Amino acid sequence: MSKISLQMFTMREYTKTKEELRNTLQTLAGYGFRNVQYSVPGFLTTREVKELLDEAGLRNDSAYHPNIFTMEQEMDKVMEQLEVFDTPYLRISTLPFEMLN
């Protein structure tokens, strides 16, 4: 895997629908990107995202879980993403501010 990934949050204005995501991924692949860092949106499944990435010839570099405190109860979703995206990397949201000191 390439060491460079595009953080898709920077493309959020262009990925609000499945078709917009498809077009944006195709455009990024055309610019030479091979990897992205993308969180599965509520309007798609993990497998649907994987299909769009495959169509564009891109790879998601990591899986994502928004809440470290509920992750254990949702481990099946976490494991599905890791498996489907074929990555050992898991991203989480930042820790609560009061835990950062």
Phi, psi of 6 (to 5 degrees): -95, 125
Q: Give the helix, strand, coil percentages of the chain, each rounded to 5.
A: 45, 15, 40
The tens-digit pLDDT sequence of the chain (101 residues) is 668 899 999 999 999 999 999 999 999 999 999 999 999 999 999 999 999 999 999 999 999 988 888 889 999 999 999 999 999 999 998 777 777 77
Residue 50 bridge partners (DSSP): none
What's the token pair of residue 91?
């991203």
What's the token pair of residue 59?
């790879």
User: How large is the C-alpha radius of gyration of the chain?
Assistant: 14
pTM score, two decimals? 0.89
